[in-house]
Each structure stands twice: as C-alpha cells, then as structure tokens.
Structure 1
Amino acid sequence: MNKRKLSLLFTLMLAFLLLLSACGSNQPTAKERMQDYVHAWEKQDFEKMYSLLSKKSQKSVSKNDFVDRYSRIYDGIEAGKLKAKITEDQNKEGRVRLSASLATIAGPVKFAQSVQLTKEKRKDKENWYIDWKPNMILPKMKKNAKISVDILPSTRGEIVDRSGKPLAVNGTAARIDLVPGKMGTDQDKANTIKMLTDQLGITQAQIKSALSQSWVKADSLVPITTLDASKTDLLKKITELPGVVKTDVSSRIYPDKNASAHLTGYVGKITAELLKKHPNEGYNANSVIGKTGLELLFEKQLRARDGASIVLLDPTGAEEGTIAKKAPVNGHNIQLTIDRNVQDALYSQLKKDAGTGVAIDPRNGDILGLVSAPAYNPNDFVLGISSDAYKKLSNDPKQPLSNRFTAASAPGSTFKPLTAAIALTHKAIDPNQSVAIEGKKWQANKSWGDYYVTRLDQDPEVNLEEALFRSDNIYFAQTALKIGGATFAADAKKFGFGASLPIDYPMRKSTLSNDGKLDSQTLLANSGYGQGQVSVNPLHLSLIYSAFVNDGNMIKPRLIKTNDPPTFWKKKVMTPEIAQLLSKDLTQVIDNPAGTAHDAKIGGISLAGKTGTPEFKQEQGKTGRENGWFVAYNTDDPRLMVTMIVENTQKQGGSHYVTPKVKKVFEEVLKK
C-alpha cells in the first residue's frame, strides 16, 4: 500500500473517531444531569425530581411518599426561592458538589454536600441518575426524622400621643366562645343563640354553622365572635347565658375610638389582593397589615416581623437540632405631636355634625389635633365588623367613613386675611383709608350683567380693620381687583397654593382656581373673599395663619414628635409689620361687639381669628348649602390655633354655629 493510500485511510479513521466522539458528547454529564434535578427543585416539581432518582433510591422511597414528604415539609417551612451551584468532583466519576440556599420562613437553609450519581440504562438509553438521601430535603435529615416549625411572635409598633397616651396599641379583646355541652336543653340553646344574635349583630346561621363543624365536641370552645374588651356591661350580660365563655385574646386596640379613627386608621388581616401587591416582603395569609390612616402610612415602621425556627426531630419527637432560626423583629413605636386632650375636645364639639377640626401649635408647627366627624369605631373593624354594620356606615348620608381633614373646599371669608396680606405687600390698599361702598350689592361694571357681589352690612365707609371684623365681601372683591389676577395668582403660590403640604399624611392640595389663573374679572373678585374656585385644606389654612404669629413666616407642620427646632415651610410671605397689623385687626373679629366672632370671646384669653360662611348655590339670589368656618388662635404666648369646619350650617347660622364650638375647645384646653 503506497503512502498516499495510507494517508487517506488514516484521515478516514480519524474522521470516524471524531464522529464517535461527537455522538458520545450528546449524553449529559453528571453535572448537567444534576442541573436538571436542580431546575425541577427550583420549581418544586417533586414528581420530576423523583423521575431523576436512581433505581436504588426509588426502592428506598416510593413516589407517593417522596412527593408527599417534600410537599408537606416545604409547605410547612414556607419554602421559597432556591439558589444552587454545582461543581464536578474531579476525584470520582459521577460525583458532584452541591452548594445551595433555600429561602424559608426561618431564613435561608444552606446545603453543602456531595451527591453521587449512577449511570443506568433505561429504555435503551444510558444516563446519570441521582443517589438520593433524605438530607437532600433538608440538611441533617434522616429517613424517619420529622420537622417542627415554631413561630417566634413579634409585636407591632404602637402609636401614642405627645404625652405617651395610647392611640393604637397592642392589647386584649374578648373572644366569645360557646361550649356545646354546657348550653343546656334545646330550648335553652335556642334562647342563647337568639340572645347572642340580638346583642352581637351576628346571624343564627353563623352561630349554628360554627357549632356544626366536624371537630366540635361537647367540651369544645367554639369561637363565635370577638368583642371590644371595654364593653364590660355587654360582656357581663352575655356571659351569664348558659354555655357562653369569654376568652381573652391578643388584639390591636384603639382606646380613643371614634375621636381618632380617621387619624390612626386600623389594621386588618391581609387579603389575597394585598399579598399580590407586597410580594417577597415576608407577608403570609395570616399577616396583619395597616388598612387606613397612620396604620397604613407607617406600615413599614410599625410592622412586626415574626421569627421562626425549623427544628429537626427524631422519630420519637425528641429534638435533634435546629436547621434554621430567624429572630423576631418588633415594630417601631411612633410618638405623634397629637395631644389626645385636644383631639378629644375637637371631637366632642363635632361628633353630632359633619365636619372637621384641625389644631396646631403655630409657634413650632406641632399638629395637636386632626379630627373628622362623624366617625366610626376602628375597634369594630379590627375585631370583624358585620356586613349590616358596615352597610349602615356606607349608606349614612353624613359619610362617617370619609376623611374630611384631608380634603379641601371653599374657605369663604377665612380667606380674606390672605387677600389683605397680598394687597398690603403690593401697596394696593391703604389699611387706614376708608373706602366708600354704597348698599349691599356691587358690581365693577355693567359687563357683569345680572351678577353682583353682596354683603351683610351696609356701612357707607369701611377701612381694612372694619372690613375684616365685619367680613365685608365687597371690600375684598374690590381689593382683589386692585391687586390684579396675575399678581394674585403668583403670590398665592408663595403661600403654598398648588403645592403638596410638607407632611407624611397625604392632604389635598389647595388651589386658587381650576387652572391656577384668575383671568376672569368676576372670578378674581369672588376669589378675594374665598369663593369662586378657591379650595383650601384646613391644615393649610392654619399654616397660612401661622404667619401672623411668626413675623410673616409660615411654619412647617410636624406630626411626629421631635426635639429638633421648628422650621418654616414658606419664609417671608409677608413682612413682620403686615403680619402684626393683620393679627391686631383679627383680634377685633372677636373683641369688637360688631365682630362676626364676638360670641367666641373668652374672659382672660385674648383670641384673634376669622369666620367664614362659603355658599354653594346653583344660582345667585337663591338659597343653598352653606358651610361654617372659624379659625382662631390665642395671641398671648400663642400655643393653640384651631380651624374648624361644620357642613350644612345654612339653617344654623353659618359660622355662628361654629364659633361657640371653637370657644369651648379653647376653654377646655387653655383653662385647665
């Protein structure tokens, strides 16, 4: 054979060997086969995992037992994401090194172990299969070992007022249980069930359903409902019924009840929808989460995170060791600037009406009270409000579920001091000059058609002080026109109109008009006395008035108690001289016998303030809905400013219905 033929033969043999090598490379390596197992493990596809076990392993555990055991254990430990790394063991064929971390209720469980794979031929195909051991479920686990998961409880952070008085705290509720064997005769049982339905607002069907559960025995404690533990008279009455037992249980409680309901909000059991909104945050189906108010806004700070431990037990139930442990983390307590005495004083005056009350310390911006009325008892929501009770709240025309202190509406004449401040800043008016005004209605020119600005008094001449304490709409409509729409709109922004309030609690922005402009002459005139399209949040109005006691600077509000010095939100919105002048004029609203808030005068306490009665009419000249407003602060060492609104006061005297209420708040808080 010549050299040419030998060379050709060698080339063909080499190609054949390369082809065989290529064909052989199609078979997975042990590492790749282990990776298939890990992929199934990541998906918790236990049936797929079982199919990858060696015959020897499958003889040691049946498919049903394998799948059932993994499922039960992984459900119990709330197994989550698996991260794994596989490396080949160079010293032995078919052996790989597994490093993995499995997320669980007790934190990550780490695997670091060698895994042997065996080559087996199945259906005429040879492949690698895992020699499985129980420690691949969880480390150190043996064939007949068991797992115990212990929850290490944590406590939710509490909310207290500036003095530490409780607003939202962890306490005890009264669970009402029935003991079937102690309910007496059928007639006694029927009487007890009827009495419970009458007193507790639950149906007979609910009680009978609870009693008919498969686990219930004669001596069982069967939970029926949970009540506010402070309802002592009701609890005494129902626990005297045969078979009725009270059991103390842990619960979130709201000692200030309706008075602080919209402020604190309430917690509740997490829903499936909320679980989807908070993925991978450690919540589970049994978690409690803030639903409204501060409980919702400060959920991250208040939230408690239970710990857990996964304990390995031998077949007898004795502990063999801890696989993983996560310590509980208690929520952080929150101390507010709120003064519960002020909060309760505000609510006491508002609880029979629809309205809102805001109180601040104008010197430092501490919010002392935030009340919305009517309200609801947040304890009812935590303990499980009945559908009938919730329906009643939802259908109430006074809307007790609505939070009014976050809203914004027409401020009426309480807006006039701001108009005056802008006018004085631009020297559009002379505060000492008397302005001649004829009659009770006025229009700038005939182009206004049938529209007029009206006033209650008809003094022929008024200066700024008189216009404020008499609340002369025509004076301030004319003043707004003297300022001009562009200047008025620009200066309103300096007072925070159109901006969010610098506070964690979300409040509606105050607006001067729908588009922020005052292009229309009638709109500008109406805006001068707080009508038109002006809309103000009550807290924002309080901050504007704080400039009268802070040399023209608007204080920055604070809801969380702090030792930090106060700061200003808006600086130099007016000069100190203008602030002092207007504050002096506003004392006449109360002190002058002709002042619109003279009925709020208190002996020994000097007050300044302004009333407002915004009107909501479909047509000028017609009667319509009115709201009553009153803002007041004490002028000597000013430490309390109250803004109160009561809705639908058209048949109660407008703002005159509100002024005595604010007066009582000052008497109760400052005269202690």
Structure 2
Amino acid sequence: MKLRKLSLLSTLFLAAIIVLTACGNHQPTAKERMEDYVHAWQKQNFSKMYSLLSKSAQKNVSKADFIARYQRIYEGIEAKRITASLSDGKKNSGTVHMKAELATVAGPVKFSQNITLKKEKRKDKENWYVNWKPNLILPGMTTTSKIRVDTLPSTRGEIVDRNNKPLAINGTAARIDLIPGKMGTDNEKAKTIDKLTHLLGTSKEQIDTALAASWVKVDSLVPITTIDATKTAMIKKVTQLPGVVKTDVNSRVYPDKNASAHLIGYVGKMTAELLKKHPNDGYNANSVIGKTGLELLFEKQLRQQDGASIVLLDSTGAEVGTIAKKQPINGQTIQLTIDRNVQDALYRQLKKDAGTGVAIDPRNGDILGLVSAPSFNPNDFVLGMSSSAYQKLSDNPKQPLMNRFTAATAPGSTFKALTAAIALTHKSINPNQTVAINGTKWQANKSWGNYSVTRLNHDPKVNLETALFKSDNIYFAQAALKIGGATFASDAKKFGFGESLPIQYPMHKSTISNDGQLNTQTLLANSGYGQGQVTVNPLHLSLIYSAFVNDGSMIKPRLIKTNDPPTFWKKNVMSKATAQLINKDLIQVINNPAGTAHDAKIAGLTLAGKTGTPEFKEKQGKSGRENGWFVAYNTNDPKLMVTMVVENTQKHGGSHYVTPKVKKVFEDVLKP
C-alpha cells in the first residue's frame, strides 16, 4: 500500500513538472505577437514596433527612417487613438486578420487587412515577427508614397440684428506689411519706421524684430500689424511710405463698433489655458474662440469646425486617392431681437457719459437695445491691441471695459411705481385721498433721531397722482410703512427680486435689501422711494414697467428673434385696474407742466414714465454722488420702452440730465 501511494505521488509530481516546464517554454502565437505590435502602435512607440519587424522588413527600411516616417506622417495627420481587433488566419499559417481604426484630423482611418508574421530565431529564441509593409502606416501607402493634409476651411457663425443688419461678421482687415528691398536707404528706412510707430502705435523694437527674422529677404512681405479696414485715412498715409503695403486678410469684424461692444463681445486666439478647458472639443492652437459677450455665451452655436482631408500622393506628388476626409462645419448664424437703429440711438446719447441704456418692446419682451458706456472698439481686440492701448482703457476712471447693463444699482424714484402697485394691491393707500404733509422733512417718530425723509416739493396735500408726477419721497415712505416690511419684502419677490432674469445674458439679481428683509422703519421708509438697500437691474426695471402696458403681467424678455407668441415672466403681479391707474398717472410725469419729466414731452407722441435720482451719500445732509434714471414708454400702441441710467449727474441736474437723452431716442426711433 505504501509503495502504491508513493507511486501515485511520484506520478502526480512528474506530471506537475511537465506542465510547469511546458508553461515555461510557451511560445507566443502569431496573434499574440501581433497584439504586442498593436500595443506599441497604440502608444506610438515606434522603436518598439521596429523591434517586432521581420529581418526582411528591416532590410527594406532602417530604424531611423521607420521612426522618422511614422512620426512625420502621424504628426501631420494628428493621429490619436487607435483601436484594433485581431483574429487568427489559417492554423499555423502566421497570418492574422486585423481590423483597426486610427483617429485623425480628417476623421477615422480604417484598416482591414491580413498581416503575415514570420517565425525567426533571435538570441536562441524563436518567435513571430511582422512582415511589415508601408500600408501599415496608412492604407494604400507604398514605399514611395507621400501624404498631404488639406484643411477644408469653415466659417464662424455671424450675429445679426432683427433686420439682418450685421453685428459680428466674417470680413477682412488690413495687414500692414513691409518690403525691405523697397524701403530705400538706411536713412529712409529709419524715417519710415519712425513714422509707422507714430501712425500705428507699433513699437520700433517690434518692427526691427520683424525685419530681422531669419526668413526675411529683400522681396519678402514682412507683416507688422493688422488694423481695422475702415481706417482708410490711416491706411492711405502709411501705404504712401516707401516699402509699405497693405494686404487684405480674413478677420472677425464688428460693424457697430463701440455701440454694441459689451453686448456682442469679441473673439480671440486660442490660448494654452483655454485648450486645457476644452480638451475634447475639437479646438487647436490656431482656433478662434469667443472671449466676451454673446461671442462667448453662444460659442457652441457660433463656432466653426474646419474639415480636413488626407490625400495619398505618388512619388511625383500626383494625387492617387483620399485616405480620409472630414467635411467642414460652419457655425450657425444668430439673429437677435436687437434693433441696430435703437442700439445706435441709445449709444449716441450715452457715449460721452458713464451709464447704460436698455430698450425693449413691452408688448412681446423683445430686447431692442443693450448699451453700456463708455465703450471700446471690439475690432481692436480682435486685431491685436498693444499693451499701452489696453492699459489706457484699464486706467480710464470711467471704466470703459465695465459692462453696466448687467449691474443692479439703486433705482431712486423710478421704484415708486412699484411701491404704488404694492400699496394699491393691499389697499394700504387710497389713490384719490389726499395726504397732509407739512414741509420738506418728515420722520415717523422721535426714535429716528437725526434721520428724516426729505422731499423737493412743498405741497401740503398730496394724492397718488401728484406724488408720482412730482416724485414725493415722503408720500412713498409713508406708503411703505403702511404696507409693512414683511408684506413689502414678500411682494417684491413676486416681481422677481432675488431671482435671476429669464434671459441668456447673465444679469445681476435685483435686491430689496441685503438680506431680503425690511426689518427696520428707516430701511422700509427709504425703500419706498428706491433708496435704502434697494438695487435694480435696468432690464428688470423695464420688465416691471411692462406690467403697466400688459394689464398687470410682466413680459418675459427675449434676445433671440422668434416667431413664437410672447409669454409672461410674472403673471398678474397687480390687477388690471391698478396697472391702468398707475399708467395714467405716469403719463402726467411727462404731460403735466409740474411733472419731473415734462422736458421729455414730444408733440404727437404720448409718453408715460418716471424719473429717479438716487443719492449715494455717507451722511444725510451732505453732498454726494448722484445717478440720473429715466424710464419711459409710448402709450398708444406701445412698441418702445427705454430705461436709461447716467452716473455722476449731481452737477448736471440729476435725472433732468437724462430726460432729454431718452426723448431724443424716441424721436430718432419712432420719428413722430
């Protein structure tokens, strides 16, 4: 029995040794060796790939040429991910069938071919090696084949106004070039460079560096700078200098220039930082991308995607065929609700000031104009702005780079119409009842200390209509106290306070107070006439006033032109009767000789509106900064509502500085 057990154990042990020995001597199959080749190929480890070639294949191509050719071609076609599947051919034939796909700039390149491997003995070990041919670089290639990659250009989508007037288009710019051989003597050359630095704002060092480049010859066109093609007077001056010529080049162009700069924005060249943010979006170092404004916000719709083709050439350079081709994709054209005539009319009135103008059609919510001033020329950013020019913009105390129509600031007395609506809704006031007010200062009780509400008019008795057209602060401070802080704050939310505006362009939220509550008497009283901590975005104010046109509902704004019927953002924020009553009173702000906006009256065109002059003072009774506000709309077939804000009007009459500007916009646009 012991002998039998020993015999059985010996047999098992010997079997295990045989198995282990067999495993240790395992020879890879042709398919497994081809898998090694594919793994190296996927990593673009061309040195490893070469080591897996058969001796006959290595005879036909040196290692250096093999690596260099792969690198040159794969870099040119922007080869990326490779996927492959392998299957055995006939048993022991050394043939492996491969299906592979290589991602390139021109789309996928597909391989489907039989690969022959050969058994060879190297360093006393036998293994399979690939009988490589050039068609393993790209299908169809031979030893003498060449590759050409063609870019199939695309165009960026354009931005147009409601009437198809251009706001951002693909046009041309003027590149200023120098031809060294035509610049004359050294003295003449120096004079030309000196004049160019003054005319173009380009530094002498920049011009000298460009002319000193290694590739420059006497007849070369040496680019110096690119400028706006509409600067014809400057172009004429510089091209009269010896050796200076103009070359038309493709460029993004903004025909409305400063008037629409903050709204439309501008594009710029792709940066390394932006490439990291868009790793798989098809951008490259030469791409253009939206940097600000609608160019940035609508980048996905506007962006272009160039196509490409990989063309197979014979040894003479003649085309043999196309290996892969990706069609270009043009960007979408975006049509805005903006009316360029309205945009320009707003800008003409604001361009010398710091402020903003918003225009809408209150019936359907179409935004007709969004202007921020002072402004800048977006074409300068596209063409390349010098550091000194950018520094000048940055250091300007009026801050031309700031977008003011997105901001929310104190609305002053323009807010009184909202206070009136809330007070009427809760029956906190009787519009026909006169309220006795003595003097120009008032406080609810002695707990207010030295603080009081002041007004400009001296009327001893005031009703809602008079309080609106004379802009009586005390009347509305008292109305706010009658409403109550909790109710006032709650109703403000119904008008969209603390909420983002329903529009693609990001705007700052309007606030009723810093914490959304009105817990003190003085804060509540001040809020009643648009001071305290109230901030309102000018577009939001326009939407609130649209309720006086739309029987108590606030229109939903829209920036993209559509044939869809208009919709409301906030329905029934007040009753139809309340809306009509306030609308009637707002007409008196302009029509009544004592109205604060009587200077905006236009013969043949009835306007309704409200002025506002919020004050920014460190202490009551002290002088300080003021802004002028005016919101107005035409009442018969209302099609235009304008809200304008001008900063620092304390020495110009407050809102009285703004009313004639808004009047001129109505005259320019509606031409009564």
| TM-score scaled by length of structure 2 | 0.97
Equivalent runs, 1:151-170 vs 2, <5 Å = 151-170=151-170
Residues 291-347 of structure 1 show CA distances to partners (whole Å, capped at 9, x for unaligned) of 111111111111111111000011110111100001111111111111111000000
User: Would the alpha carbon gap of residues 422 and 56 (structure 1) be closer, same or farther in structure 2, given more than 3 Å must change?
Assistant: same
Residues 368-398 of structure 1 show CA distances to partners (whole Å, capped at 9, x for unaligned) of 1000000000111111111111111111111
Q: Distance in 1 between matches of 2:609 and 2:266?
A: 35
C-alpha deviation, 1:521, in angstroms = 1.7
Identity over aligned residues, as a percent? 76
Letter in 2 for 1:477: A
Q: Distance in 1 between matches of 2:526 and 2:666?
A: 32
C-alpha deviation, 1:28, in angstroms = 4.0
* Residue equivalent to 1:303: 303
Is 2:335 the partner of 1:335?
yes
* Residue equivalent to 1:52: 52
SS of residue in 2 equivalent to 1:406: coil
Q: Distance in 1 between matches of 2:127 and 2:438?
A: 105
* Residue equivalent to 2:640: 640
* Residue equivalent to 1:24: 25
User: Would the alpha carbon gap of residues 583 and 4 (structure 1) be closer, same or farther in structure 2, given more than 3 Å must change?
Assistant: closer
* Residue equivalent to 1:504: 504
SS of residue in 1 equivalent to 2:564: coil
Letter in 2 for 1:380: D
Residues 35-63 of structure 1 show CA distances to partners (whole Å, capped at 9, x for unaligned) of 33323222222223223333332232222
User: Would the alpha carbon gap of residues 426 and 3 (structure 1) be closer, same or farther in structure 2, given more than 3 Å must change?
Assistant: closer
Equivalent runs, 1:60-99 vs 2, <5 Å = 60-99=60-99
C-alpha deviation, 1:444, in angstroms = 1.4
Letter in 1 for 2:439: G
C-alpha deviation, 1:552, in angstroms = 0.3
* Residue equivalent to 2:277: 277
SS of residue in 1 equivalent to 2:261: helix
User: Would the alpha carbon gap of residues 667 and 4 (structure 1) be closer, same or farther in structure 2, given more than 3 Å must change?
Assistant: closer
SS of residue in 1 equivalent to 2:207: helix
SS of residue in 1 equivalent to 2:100: strand
Q: Higher mean Cα deviation, 113-122 or 526-535? A: 113-122
* Residue equivalent to 1:15: 16
User: Would the alpha carbon gap of residues 662 and 8 (structure 1) be closer, same or farther in structure 2, given more than 3 Å must change?
Assistant: closer
Q: Distance in 1 between matches of 2:107 and 2:442?
A: 75
* Residue equivalent to 1:103: 103
Q: Distance in 1 between matches of 2:283 and 2:52?
A: 34
C-alpha deviation, 1:498, in angstroms = 1.1
User: Would the alpha carbon gap of residues 123 and 590 (structure 1) be closer, same or farther in structure 2, given more than 3 Å must change?
Assistant: same
Q: Distance in 2 between matches of 1:4 and 1:424?
A: 108
Residues 138-170 of structure 1 show CA distances to partners (whole Å, capped at 9, x for unaligned) of 111111211000111111111111111111011
Letter in 1 for 2:350: L
SS of residue in 2 equivalent to 1:245: strand
Is 2:252 the partner of 1:252?
yes
Is 2:380 the partner of 1:380?
yes
Q: Distance in 2 between matches of 1:442 and 1:543?
A: 32
| TM-score scaled by length of structure 1 | 0.97
SS of residue in 1 equivalent to 2:405: helix
Q: Distance in 1 between matches of 2:472 and 2:330?
A: 57
C-alpha deviation, 1:137, in angstroms = 1.1
Is 2:462 the partner of 1:475?
no
Q: Distance in 1 between matches of 2:152 and 2:59?
A: 39
User: Would the alpha carbon gap of residues 222 and 496 (structure 1) be closer, same or farther in structure 2, given more than 3 Å must change?
Assistant: same
Q: Distance in 2 between matches of 1:649 and 1:123?
A: 92
Letter in 2 for 1:502: P
Q: Distance in 1 between matches of 2:395 and 2:126?
A: 72
Letter in 1 for 2:368: L
C-alpha deviation, 1:81, in angstroms = 1.7
Q: Higher mean Cα deviation, 117-126 or 176-185? A: 117-126
* Residue equivalent to 1:624: 624
C-alpha deviation, 1:3, in angstroms = 7.9
C-alpha deviation, 1:8, in angstroms = 6.1
Q: Distance in 1 between matches of 2:283 and 2:344?
A: 35
Q: Distance in 2 between matches of 1:203 and 1:118?
A: 66
Q: Higher mean Cα deviation, 83-92 or 540-549? A: 83-92
SS of residue in 1 equivalent to 2:487: helix
SS of residue in 1 equivalent to 2:629: strand
Letter in 1 for 2:592: N
Q: Higher mean Cα deviation, 437-446 or 260-269? A: 437-446
Residues 527-569 of structure 1 show CA distances to partners (whole Å, capped at 9, x for unaligned) of 1111111111100100000000000010111111111111111
Letter in 2 for 1:479: A
User: Would the alpha carbon gap of residues 459 and 99 (structure 1) be closer, same or farther in structure 2, given more than 3 Å must change?
Assistant: same
Q: Distance in 2 between matches of 1:547 and 1:652?
A: 31
C-alpha deviation, 1:115, in angstroms = 2.0
SS of residue in 1 equivalent to 2:444: coil
* Residue equivalent to 2:115: 115
Letter in 2 for 1:277: K
Structure 2: gaps spanning 5 or more residues: none
* Residue equivalent to 1:419: 419
C-alpha deviation, 1:7, in angstroms = 5.7
Q: Distance in 2 between matches of 1:134 and 1:470?
A: 89
Q: Distance in 2 between matches of 1:294 and 1:5?
A: 88
Q: Distance in 2 between matches of 1:83 and 1:345?
A: 59
Q: Distance in 1 between matches of 2:365 and 2:256?
A: 23
* Residue equivalent to 1:410: 410
Q: Higher mean Cα deviation, 52-61 or 312-321? A: 52-61
Count of equivalent residues: 670
Equivalent runs, 1:482-497 vs 2, <5 Å = 482-497=482-497
C-alpha deviation, 1:92, in angstroms = 3.8
Equivalent runs, 1:445-594 vs 2, <5 Å = 445-594=445-594
User: Would the alpha carbon gap of residues 187 and 206 (structure 1) be closer, same or farther in structure 2, given more than 3 Å must change?
Assistant: same
SS of residue in 2 equivalent to 1:103: strand
